[in-house]
Amino acid sequence: MAALGYDAAKMLADAITRAGTTGEPQLRDAIAGTKNFKGVTGDITLDADRNAIKAAVILTIANGGFQFVQRVAP
């Protein structure tokens, strides 16, 4: 969850930079225009309803640790 929170904060900072302000409607439009944001959890794009579109990672626990299984892209 910490990585997702980090990505959300970085996306907001990126949107503020692109908007050049924290005021409406520029910031709202900049957030809505987020495409291919390079986050620590992967690339993130917001759809028309501002839902995050991003791949999910499937892990398994084996030998006392996490093992990557596959990445599932939407």
* pLDDT tens digit sequence for 5-21: 999 999 999 999 999 99
The residue ranges of every structural domain in the chain are 2-72
Whole-model pTM: value is: 0.78
pLDDT at res. 1? 80
User: Would you say 18 and 28 are in contact if contact means Cβ atoms under 8 Å apart?
Assistant: no
φ/ψ region of 45 (left if φ > 0, alpha if ψ in -120 to 50, else beta) reads: beta
Question: What's the pLDDT tens digit per position in 22-52?
Answer: 999 999 999 999 999 999 989 999 999 989 9
Q: Which residues on adjacent β-strands are paired with residue 70?
A: 58
The token pair at 6 is 């980090």
pLDDT at res. 74? 84
Sign of the dihedral defined by the CA atoms of residues 26, 28, 34, 38, in that order: positive
Q: How many CB atoms neighbour CB 23 within 10 A?
A: 9
